[in-house]
Amino acid sequence: MKRICLFVCLFVVVSLGAQESPDINPFIRGDVNLDARVGIADAVQLVEALFGAGRLDCPDAADSNDDGSVNITDALSILAFLFQGAAMPAPWPGCGLDPTLDPSCYCLATYCPAFSE
């Protein structure tokens, strides 16, 4: 199933070019564990996933600094948000679509209502 989603995502990215985000599912930026809030558990789950002990059901939410890739700086961004008051990129504080075009375009944040155009 994940491979099919990735294929569809890649097709959409190639089809759209840089015109708009291919996201079709809303999410909250930084909510890695998909519990509808951003907390220390999100940073922990992200580090676990990066080192092979966990998984990411919403890479866009895990890309907390919105640079288009998921890496250790995203965990640090979540911690900076929680403990230093750093800003969190959109979509934040509520559900929304990623305003930037990047390869991480699938998300299973079931707490967010589906957007209709």
- Residues facing residue 96 across a β-bridge: 27
* Residue 6 confidence (pLDDT): 39
Cβ-contact 104, 5 below 8 angstroms: no
* Residue 105 confidence (pLDDT): 63
Mean of all residue pLDDT scores within the chain? 80
CA dihedral 58, 39, 116, 15 (to 10 degrees): -30
Nearest alpha-carbon partner for 58 in 104, 11, 5, 115: 104
* Residue 53 confidence (pLDDT): 87
* Residue 28 confidence (pLDDT): 95
Q: Which two tokens stand for residue 41?
A: 């558990």
Q: Give me the average pLDDT of each 10-residue run along the chain (117 residues).
A: 40 40 80 96 97 89 93 98 96 90 75 67
* Residue 4 confidence (pLDDT): 38
Distance CA 1, CA 21 (A): 21
According to CATH, the topology of domain 21-112 is: Type 1 dockerin domain (1.10.1330)
